[in-house]
Amino acid sequence: MAIVLDGKKLSEKSEEDFKRRVSIIKKSTGSTPILATILVGNNPASATYVKMKGNACQRVGMKSLKIELPENTSTDDLITEIDKLNNNKDVHGILLQHPVPKHINERKCFDSIDVDKDVDGVTSLGFGKMSMQENAFGSCTPYGIMRLLEEYKIELEGKLAVVIGRSPILGKPMAMMLLNKNCTVTVCHSKTLNLSDEINKADIVIGALGIPKFIKGNWIKDNAIVVDAGYHPEKCGDIELESVINRCKAYTPVPGGVGPMTINTLILQTIESCEATLK
């Protein structure tokens, strides 16, 4: 019977610890961890995600500071808003909701976030420091996956991991985090030749491509660890899970696997950022 890597269960368990840590901060300092969220434009899905992050803050006793900017906001105007938050000592974490309107230079805006407040793990500097195993906040989804694998005591050292996807906030940091845990890592993508053959070698398969059920179950070998970081309106992920569940060693369900760990990790890193300012 395969192990279900239950992100919902772990996130609920983690929130109890978060409440305790926030309570200690409040009692000892009188201050409260604050996560600032920046939403540019009127994308309904983005607005929903920001609301979910605000709700998560509320559940553990944190505060959220919501910054809402119009669709026509320029790159320079957005960076000005980010700089205000960088300089606000009461703000411990800054999240710029992705995606921003196309006319904005998103990478430039991400990289204007103070690395010490980059609790979403999106800056180039944070990625570099994490890759070099220096202190930095990790990208939330891959770090959430690492926390899930650790919770279920999944052995990583010496294993061959195949990451399908190379985005700057998921595929690439995922590969570096696995490499730092002594996995041998192959990164595949849309231009990879013989993709099914590469996946079939893997002890650990990470689906992070963003295409519904693109990765077929019969490409995955028996007793593999299967992690699906995708979620689509069809209520499925990037992996054809139903045909591999009975053969794999462990898997993340969709929904309820990777998804809950993303916001949970954002909250964790905001608390850590606040704790760091109090030392």
* Residues annotated catalytic, as ranges: 53, 97, 120
- At CA 19, angle to CA 17 and CA 24, rounded to 5? 95
User: Exposure pattern of 16-55 as b/e (b: 16+ CB <10 Å)?
Assistant: eebeebbeebeeeeeeebbbbbbbbbebeebeebbeebbe
Strands across the sheet with 34-40, in order? 63-69, 34-40, 93-96
Helix/strand/coil for 1: coil
- The residue with tokens 């770090």 is 143
Alpha helices, DSSP H, located in the chain: 7-29, 44-60, 75-86, 106-110, 124-131, 140-151, 171-180, 195-200, 259-277
Q: Which residue has the tokens 């305790």?
A: 20
